[in-house]
Amino acid sequence: MSSLILILITGVGLGALYFLIASGLSLIYGLMHVLNFAHGAFLTAGAYAAWVVTPQLSGLGGWAFPVAVLVGMVTGALIGALVELLLIRPLYRRHIEQVLVTVGLGLMAVALFTGIWGPDPHPFPRPAWTTRTTTIGGAAIPNDRFLLIGAAGLLLIGLVLLLRHTRIGLIIRAGVENRTMVQALGIDVRRTFTLVFAIGGAAAALGGVLGSVYLGSVSPGQGTALLIYAFIVVVIGGFGSIGGTAIAALVVALVQQLANYYLYSGIGDVSVVLLLAAVLLIKPAGLTGRTA
Amino acid sequence: MTDILRLTGVQVRIAGSHILQGIDFAVPEGGVTAVLGRNGVGKTTTLRAILALVPSTGMIEFDGARIDGMPTHRIVRSGVGYVPEDREIFASLTVEENLKLAEVPGVRPDYDAVHELFPELHQRRKQRAGTLSGGQQQMVALARVLLGPARLLLVDEPTKGLAPKLVTEVGDVLARVAERTTVLLVEQSLPLVRRIADMAIVIDNGRVVHTSDARSLLADESLVNSLLGVAGTDIAPKAHRAPVIGAD
Amino acid sequence: MTNLGQTLTDRAVAATGSQRRGTGPGRIRAVLIPLAVLVLLIFLPWLGFSIPGVLPGPVNSPGSLQLLALCLVTAGIALSYDVLFGRTGLLSFGHALFVGAGAYSAAIALGRWGAGIGVAVLLVLAVGITLPLIVGAISLRVKGIAFAMVTLAFAQAVAITVLRNPGGLTGGEEGLSLNRSRLPALLSGVVNAPYRYWLALAFCVFCVLLVSWLTAARTGHAWAAVRENEARVEVLGLSAYRAKLLAVVVGGFLGTLGGFIQLIIIGGANPHLLSTELTLSLLVMVVLGGSGSRWGPIIGGALYVLLDNRLQELSTSSTIAELPAALRIPLSQPVFVLGLLFILVVYFAPGGIAAISGRVRARWNSRVTDKAAAP
């Protein structure tokens, strides 16, 4: 029983990580129809930024970690905004070229990180309390899972508030449904694009930092490795839908964990990847999308 | 009387098809100008070209200033409202949110006019727009463009799929709206056109083939027949035009 | 997502006049130059000249021949990818599946099963036809980005499985080394580098011939039609699905074959051959070279391998070491430079190298005719 509780809670923790990464991806594709292959780069950049800045913050004691997280998120937001402004916006409506550019950026980013910090993982400084465990129902749960769940919960609340109670959120929701009509109401949707990329970058960076806490290390390829699972979550949950992304993140992570543990190690990973194919084959509508 | 809109030599090519082959017309300010023509001649495309929703060549002047080449949102901001065919309201948003989206920042939205014309929308303001009936969705689509100071409304087949009672109501609304704004109306329902249109422009094969005042055109049965291919002389609501969405 | 890759391929095609079925000097040149290059390539192992900076030694040294062999096999694989992307407008993120399948099935047959080279070849051929057929039949049920993601999913699923080393079959992270004892002696050993080189050359030539033949035939027209406007293809009564499936099978077959050749050249199968990175590098190659054109993918593939190799050499050289860190670090990473070139091409030269060379040729021609016209 205790192992089931462990699997379930760590599964939710993994789902939280997936949600952090997938939420930005979902908004970006939903609103802009850009499949952002550079999203992994935002993630890794945030992780490295936090890693680099942590030694400088040793004087802050317990505050060092939250500040490092903040630095990571700001880095992610800035990079996301710059990428959109400089690279994506000039290719407005040329979706294939936009995808290609994000692919190129993703490749360049991994190479750059490898060049600067080397290909091997570096240990990631984590606050002592995250290495300890809390016992629930006989299962010893590592505390970093709770950190992930808490962060994802806050992000979810923040995004829902943004989408439901601000004008920008209204424009995003309408734009996800019908971008052209939003333009035909006199609203320049393109200005929201930069914001969406910034939000996506910040959320991914948060996922990157907390993911590094979860993995215990930071490495150049961690973004690409996690990106496929983020894609799976977004496809299953529906582009542009935050609620759908959250539920899908939980489902994917739990299926993965349960299958890996109870069936055969690794089969969970393969199953969710095949789940991606299955969902697309049955219901491709969300991806083939409307013409922008 | 000044022209609020003028198209000169407007051409549109989509996927190899030469849909608009040289559209020339002028819309006088005030009242309703109807755009008529058989299916597929380019009526909707003309409206979309005015709004730069499709790329076009040629000259388009709104209120004396050239708007061809401007991006869609700026054209709309300069005073052109759009009620598209199939309404295209945002189904996942509430009625209230659909209207709020149409508000122009910095301009007081005219909710009084909207509530007066469409009292039902105020009652249903918290309802998700996707759950509204066809007629109610049409009201939202119309209300949207009336919130702001639009000087020209492009309205595309607003009565499509509506029951006869609603067709009349939409006609009434348009007639009242036309008292303070110019309306460029694409319509298939000739009785509606007869009732509210001042001017008529007929398009065929991507060109304007006839321009006159609406009543004299519609009074001439043989002319109507040859231009629009309308069978018979009866221009009362046609029996075969079954409403897609019934009366609500 | 309609018009897949159309901007890129149209410009490449237009610039290189690949669709031009003209006569006269242009056409003769289009055949003679590649023929001359081919003859040169065939006789390369007997030539002793050097290209400093480009090749590690004289042209016929084992190191250079190995590098050239890698260039050739990669060029062929890039061409196989372009059959889907540039010719038919299918964006696939799973092409590495075929390459890896070719390498691993032969490596397993030769190594784990102790089978002979004949069996290995038959296995590769069988896999090369059935695997793309199955993958294509399933993934072509959807279009556009959905198709891209389904192919990605299949390739990733296999990659993950292979990494897990089921039953000790695939060697996990380290991969499988080639069991040379079952290979003809001609292909093993440093001194036999020319034979491996010729094998790679033969593969590349085979790819070019097969793809050129199919492109000129009705198949190629169907592919081009699907790329331009799939809806219209259906209206004309052609089967878009069949044309696309054929593209996947042809591209997949050549890719599988290429994986097998690659196994022989580099002496092992490794998980990288199944990775998304490989497929993305193929994408970079065809875009750099000019997708949809006859020689673009070949040039792109060969250039990519060459640049990757040379940049790695360069990164340890003294010139680079003296640069300030801000320049030195990015330049020491070949993928960074290649990715940057790729992005620049997407922005400024969408037709790739093929289009650039086409434009240069066009301007040269117009200058010649101008001179002729001048009194």
Of A97, A107, A231, the CB nearest to C339: A107
Residue stretches of chain B with pLDDT short of 50: 231-248
Any A CB within 8 A of C145 CB:
yes
Find chain B residues with C-beta within 8 A of A181's C-beta.
Answer: 84, 88, 90
| Among candidate residues C279, C251, C254, C136, the one with its CA nearest the CA of residue C204 | C254
Query: Chains with 3 or more CB pairs closer than 8 angstroms to C?
Result: A, B
List Cα–Cα distances, B199 to B152, B195, C246, C313, in angstroms. 15, 11, 56, 77
Query: Does the pLDDT of residue A291 top 60, yes or no?
Result: no
Chain A interface test: which of B92, B142, B153, B154 (most A C-beta within 10 Å): B92
In sequence order, the 6+-apart residues with CB closer than 8 A to the CB of A201 are A24, A42, A46, A76, A77, A78, A79, A80, A81, A83
Q: For residue A125, give the 3-state DSSP assignment.
A: coil
Q: How far apart are the C-alpha atoms of C179 and C177, rounded to whole Å? A: 6
pLDDT digits over A117-135, tens only?
989 999 998 888 888 888 8
Looking at residue C236, its pLDDT comes to: 67
Using an 8 Å CB-CB cutoff, list chain C residues near A280: 142, 146, 149-150, 153
Residue A290 has pLDDT above 60, yes or no: no
Q: Read off the pLDDT of residues A69-107 as tens digits, 9 standing for 90 and up.
A: 999 999 999 999 999 999 998 887 788 888 899 999 999
In eight-state DSSP terms, residue A260 is I
Question: Taking CB atoms and an 8 Å cutoff, what residues of chain C touch B15?
Answer: 229, 232
> Among C163, C115, C125, which Cα is nearest to C270's?
C163
pLDDT at C10: 64
pTM: 0.84
C229 touching B (Cβ < 8 Å): yes
CA distance A34 to chain C (A): 10
Q: Is A135 helix (H, G, I), strand (E, B) or coil?
A: strand
Per-residue pLDDT of chain C (375 residues; tens, 9 = 90+): 344 455 566 655 555 444 444 556 667 777 888 888 888 888 888 887 888 777 877 888 888 899 999 999 999 999 999 999 999 999 999 999 999 999 999 999 998 888 888 999 999 999 999 999 999 999 998 888 889 889 999 999 999 899 888 888 888 888 888 888 878 888 888 888 889 999 999 999 999 999 999 999 988 888 988 888 777 777 766 688 889 999 999 999 999 999 999 999 998 899 999 999 899 999 999 999 998 888 999 999 999 999 998 888 777 776 767 777 778 788 888 889 999 999 999 998 888 888 887 777 777 777 776 666 655
The phi and psi torsions of B183 (rounded to 5 degrees) equal -120, 125
* Mean pLDDT, rounded, of chain A: 89
% residues pLDDT > 70 (chain A): 97
In the B/C pair of chains, how many CB contacts fall below 8 A? 3
Q: What ipTM describes this predicted complex?
A: 0.87
Chain B residues touching residue A182 (CB < 8 angstroms):
101
Residue B220 distance to chain A (closest CA, Å) = 37
At A284 the pLDDT is 67
C276 to chain A: closest CA residue: A224
Helix (H, G, I), strand (E, B) or coil at A142: strand
Backbone φ and ψ for C189, nearest 5 degrees, come out as 95, 150
- Contact B101/A at CB under 8 A: yes
A103: chain C residues, CB-CB within 8 Å: 280, 283-284
Measured distance CA(C213)–CA(C223) in Å, rounded: 13
Bridge-based pairing of strands A133-136 and A139-142 is antiparallel
pLDDT given at position A168: 93
Q: What pLDDT does residue A270 have?
A: 87
Contact of C259 with C82, CB cutoff 8 Å:
no
Read off the pLDDT of residues A17-48 as tens digits, 9 standing for 90 and up. 999 999 999 999 888 888 899 999 999 999 99
Q: Which pLDDT value is given to residue C44? A: 85
Q: What is the Cα–Cα distance from C149 to C169, expressed in whole angstroms?
A: 27
